[in-house]
Amino acid sequence: MPIPVASKRPPQGSPDPSVCDRFRRYWVRHRTLFWALHSIWALAAGGVVIYLARERYGFVPWVILFLTLTWGSTLLFSRTIADDNGSSDNTEPPGLHREVASYLTRAMYQETLFFLLPFYWYSTVVRSPNIVFSALLVGLAVLSCVDLVFDRWLRTRVLFGIVYFATVTFAAINLVLPILLPVDPAFGTPLAALVAVGSAIPLAVRGSLTGRSDRIWVGLLAAVFLVFMVGLPRLVPPVPLRLKNVTFTSDIDRATLVPVDSLRFNVRSGQLRGAIFILVEVFAPSSLPTSVTLEWKRDGETFRTSREIEIIAHELGFRIWDGYHSETGKVPPGKYAVVFRTSGNRVFGVAEINVSAE
């Protein structure tokens, strides 16, 4: 007698799964693969944004719109975090509405960070302390593209989301403020830090930070953030200032600021006639008042520092010059470097030339 086989059909009378239910099941089954592929696409799209953002300072004010959208989506997402923490297991895949909220937040972070990167690297000197902050932005941009990790951290770590948002906001405001207002980056950086901390406060209030220990942690992080950004400005590139052109010369016309020649990287001491000069153009996308100091080094040792020069950088490049006259009538051989600093002792450029003996 044949053994009856259980039917795989749903019992008679039970309703068929709706389209939404079937889509939800399909999404849960393939969610990891989809977000992994999306991470690759996001990194590629970020590279395109970096390429398109080069030299396009006219689009910088649009960062304000991106920040507003990011703030709004983060504010909404912080509410969903609070709901998840109180009602469900954060290790489970989130619902579709939370997936959408998380995706919008991540997309805004990705676009903002990748847009900011080229402008910060213009003002970054690799062998200076400000490489720290630029490297941090690169790391945050890449992290925002790792969807599965970034989404889980946003959903389960409220403090991470607040600190992440404050850092991105600071980086954006620090760039936009000197462009929209004629303010020295030395004042713009502390102001940007205050705006970043202030904008993060509603996120902390609306999120799940209700305990005393949570509030203490937020206060400590805000204090550390302000001390870091206000007290250690050398770690932040002085955007949007950057060097446009640099020329070493054996002499320069003081009236027209035209160099008599252009020295290449290697030059003999006898060609210099006892002196070496440098002519530079300091660029800013809009009129930007600041001060510049030139520090001369030979084989890594500082031997001369210019006076503080008050300038107004602009898009055509504000030209300044400085020179070194040897007391012996002959420029000593060695590797010369001129370090350009702005207010707050912030490095924004280095020029080098090698002087060899006869």
Task: Delimit the domains of the chain by residue range.
Answer: 19-235, 242-356
Q: In the predicted model, is pLDDT for residue 84 greater than 60?
A: no
pLDDT value for 271: 86
Q: In the predicted model, is pLDDT for residue 239 greater than 50?
A: yes
For 116-131, the pLDDT digits (tens) are 999 999 999 988 889 9
For 309-320, the pLDDT digits (tens) are 999 999 999 999
Q: CA of 130: how far to CAs of 136, 186, 234, in Å?
A: 10, 14, 6
Q: Residue holding tokens 């702005």?
A: 342
As given in the structure block, the two tokens for residue 38 are 């999306």
Task: Give me the mean pLDDT over the 299-308 stretch.
Answer: 94
Query: Rounded to a whole number, what is the distance in angstroms from the first to the last CA of the chain?
Result: 109
Listing from the earlier edge strand, what are the strands of the sheet with 318-325? Answer: 242-249, 275-283, 318-325
DSSP state letter for 239:
T
Banded model confidence at residue 80, pLDDT cuts 50, 70, 90: low
For 127-170, the pLDDT digits (tens) are 888 999 999 999 999 999 998 899 888 877 777 888 888 889 89
pTM of the full structure: 0.83
Give me the residues paired with residue 294 across strands.
340
What's the CA gap between 157 and 149, in Å, rounded? 11
Handedness of CA 198, 231, 343, 169 (dihedral sign): negative
CA 303 vs. chain centroid, Å, equals 33
What's the CA gap between 2 and 213, in Å, rounded? 68
In CATH, what number does 242-356 get?
2.60.40.2550
Query: How many Cα neighbours within 13 Å face the side chain of 50?
Result: 18
pLDDT value for 71: 74
CA dihedral 321, 125, 50, 147 (to 10 degrees): -160
Handedness of CA 194, 196, 202, 206 (dihedral sign): negative
